């Protein structure tokens, strides 16, 4: 049964649904002036999140799908940070008030590529222009290969509570094939330094479906990761899209597993983590039983955003840096992707927004349905439609994709409630896609559904 489902749905190229509508729907109709109005309308005390994009690494990992630049020199990074600081001031002035900050996330690239004092200064500037409280959560993505003890201490001094470490695979054969050599010892040193500096939660990112990966090597990596006692793990499937990310052409497609092989790798990792006491969160996250993400799963408050599964329920997300995506009640915005163009826009005194999307009421309904499916593998479509002021027939009547999934035993539908069968959760994106009104209009290549 599972093989047949994989053959039918596993090769489909579908969004990861970290937003809805997805980024290919963004257009230049939503510009800097639009975003300025949305910022001014954002409630000061409702709680907001900040995302800061640092698009620099010392070397290119060939699997990478991020907006990243490679620099062995510090000056381009210093120049970029000058522009980022100017954007922080500009966004704050445009909002016209001190927004209360609940969450901060530094992504990249490698945010810890900056020097310790630069990070401390950047956090100080954020605190000057936004309202932080004792419950503001600060998280940073880290490459363990380049994290110094001094930088770990600076993170602790700046109030960082969560660190997300890129691991991907501990198999040297796989590491060579993706141009990322990283020993267990390097990773263990990074964890030890972060713990000593006061970091309360450690997350590891693992990837399956990489070149030369096998079930055995995935299990070995999972076991070695478990030994380092991370609080959470995110286990992503490698998205091979060389037409979009040209450096992925360095990976030999003949060394990549098919959908069945990818599923076997994912399930082997899942079984290893579950046996070690981790709880499965949504499609690809795992956490220890006392983690607040598990509590969010249990009480139905788990969310999904551009960083994946999260407990962040803020309606306002301010994206800072080149390519950064933000969100307000009204819609999505994205900054200029190229750092040079981003710098010119900020230097001219303008917000760096070049495109975005204004949400409709129907978009908000479909987004809510998709988010609950991605988080809970179940959704009461009828209840959500009533809450948003729509007739459930809008989403359910004539939905050919849903009918096919029901006939194939992937989902059960009862009185407007859709439940994904436990053994079929690996094709959840195919279920979510049934509520995507724009999927066939994007012209964008996405990753495989399984």
0.85 cut: is pTM over it?
A: yes
In a shared domain, residues 67 and 196: yes
Residue 225 neighbours by CB under 8 Å, 6+ apart = 167, 170, 204, 206, 233
Q: Are 110 and 166 in contact (CB under 8 A)?
A: no
* Local structure of 167: helix, strand or coil: strand
Backbone angles phi, psi at 129, to 5 degrees: -105, -10
Of the three residues 292, 320, 348, the one that is the final residue of a domain is 320
| Residue 449 within a domain | no
| Residue 332 within a domain | no
| Residue 325 within a domain | no
Residue 69 neighbours by CB under 8 Å, 6+ apart = 55, 56, 57, 76, 109, 339
- Domain holding 381, by residue range, is 1-15+361-443
| Residue 329 within a domain | no
Q: Are 28 and 355 in contact (CB under 8 A)?
A: yes
In a shared domain, residues 9 and 57: no
Question: DSSP secondary-structure letter at 229?
Answer: -
| Residue 326 within a domain | no
In a shared domain, residues 125 and 257: yes
* Local structure of 39: helix, strand or coil: helix
In a shared domain, residues 182 and 300: yes
Strands (E), 201-358: 201-208, 232-237, 278-281, 285-288, 303-305, 308-310, 316-320, 325-327, 331-335, 353-358
Q: Are 13 and 446 in contact (CB under 8 A)?
A: yes
CA-based nearest residue to 107, from 346, 281, 320: 320
Q: Are 85 and 351 in contact (CB under 8 A)?
A: no
Residue 417 neighbours by CB under 8 Å, 6+ apart = 378, 379, 380, 381, 382
Compute, in degrees rounded to 10, the torsion defined by CA atoms 257, 65, 315, 443: -80
Neighbours of 376 (CB within 10 A): 15
Looking up residue 6, the CATH number of its domain turns out to be 1.10.10.920
Question: DSSP secondary-structure letter at 69?
Answer: E
Domain count, the chain: 2
In a shared domain, residues 11 and 42: no
Among all chains, which residue has been given the structure tokens 């300025």?
36
In a shared domain, residues 142 and 2: no
Q: Are 342 and 334 in contact (CB under 8 A)?
A: no
In a shared domain, residues 304 and 439: no
| Residue 67 within a domain | yes
| Residue 354 within a domain | no
Of the three residues 301, 320, 339, the one that is the final residue of a domain is 320
| Residue 398 within a domain | yes
What CA–CA distances, in Å, run from 20 to 300, 385, 439? 19, 16, 10
In a shared domain, residues 5 and 26: no
In a shared domain, residues 43 and 103: yes
In a shared domain, residues 393 and 262: no
In a shared domain, residues 26 and 58: yes
Of the three residues 261, 292, 320, the one that is the final residue of a domain is 320
In a shared domain, residues 147 and 204: yes
Per-residue pLDDT of the chain (450 residues; tens, 9 = 90+): 677 887 788 767 789 999 999 999 999 999 999 999 999 999 988 999 999 999 999 999 999 988 889 999 999 999 999 999 999 999 999 999 999 999 999 999 999 999 999 999 999 999 999 999 888 999 999 999 999 999 999 999 999 999 999 999 999 999 999 999 999 999 999 999 999 999 999 999 999 999 999 999 999 999 999 999 999 999 999 989 888 789 998 999 999 999 889 999 999 999 999 999 999 999 999 999 999 999 999 999 999 998 899 999 999 999 999 999 999 999 999 999 999 999 999 999 999 999 999 999 999 999 999 999 999 999 999 999 999 999 999 999 999 999 999 999 999 999 999 999 999 998 999 999 999 999 976 444 445 545
Looking up residue 297, the CATH number of its domain turns out to be 3.20.20.70
């Amino acid at each position: 049964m599972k093989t047949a489902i994989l053959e039918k749905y596993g090769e489909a190229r579908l969004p990861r649904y970290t937003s809805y509508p997805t980024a290919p729907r963004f257009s230049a109709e939503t510009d800097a002036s639009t975003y300025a109005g949305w910022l001014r309308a954002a409630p000061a005390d409702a709680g907001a999140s900040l995302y800061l994009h640092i698009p620099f690494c010392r070397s290119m990992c060939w699997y990478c799908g991020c907006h990243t630049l490679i620099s062995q020199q510090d000056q381009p990074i210093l120049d970029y940070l000058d522009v980022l600081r100017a954007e922080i001031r500009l966004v704050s002035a445009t909002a016209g008030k001190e927004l209360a900050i609940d969450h901060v996330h530094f992504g990249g690239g490698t945010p810890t590529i900056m020097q310790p004092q630069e990070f401390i200064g950047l956090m100080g500037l954020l605190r000057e222009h936004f309202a932080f409280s004792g419950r503001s959560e600060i998280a940073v993505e880290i490459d363990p290969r380049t994290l110094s003890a001094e930088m770990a201490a600076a993170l602790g001094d700046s109030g960082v509570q969560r660190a997300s470490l890129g691991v991907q695979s501990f198999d040297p054969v796989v590491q060579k094939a993706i141009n990322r050599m990283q020993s267990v010892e390097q990773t263990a040193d990074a964890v030890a330094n972060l713990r000593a500096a006061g970091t309360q939660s450690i997350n590891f990112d693992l990837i399956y479906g990489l070149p030369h990966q096998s079930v055995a090597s995935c299990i070995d990596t999972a076991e070695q990761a478990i030994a380092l006692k991370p609080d959470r793990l995110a286990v992503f499937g490698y998205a091979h899209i060389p037409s979009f990310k040209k450096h992925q052409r360095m990976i030999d497609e003949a060394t990549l597993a098919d959908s069945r092989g990818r599923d076997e790798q994912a399930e082997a990792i899942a079984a290893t983590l579950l046996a070690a006491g981790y709880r499965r969160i949504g499609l690809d996250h795992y956490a220890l039983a006392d983690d607040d993400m598990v509590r969010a799963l249990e009480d139905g408050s788990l969310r999904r955003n551009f960083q994946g599964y999260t407990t962040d329920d803020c309606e306002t997300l301010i994206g800072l840096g080149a390519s950064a995506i933000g969100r307000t009640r009204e819609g999505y915005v994205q900054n200029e992707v190229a750092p040079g163009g981003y710098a010119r826009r900020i230097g001219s005194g303008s917000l760096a927004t070049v495109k975005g999307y204004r949400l409709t009421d129907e978009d908000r309904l479909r987004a809510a349905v998709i988010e609950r499916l991605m988080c809970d593998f179940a959704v009461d479509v009828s209840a959500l439609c009533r809450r948003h002021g729509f007739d459930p027939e809008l989403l359910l009547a004539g939905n050919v994709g849903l009918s096919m999934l029901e006939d194939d035993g992937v989902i059960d539908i009862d009185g407007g409630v859709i439940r994904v069968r436990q053994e079929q959760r690996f094709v959840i994106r195919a279920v979510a896609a049934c509520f995507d009104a724009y999927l066939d209009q994007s012209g964008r290549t996405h990753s495989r559904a399984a």
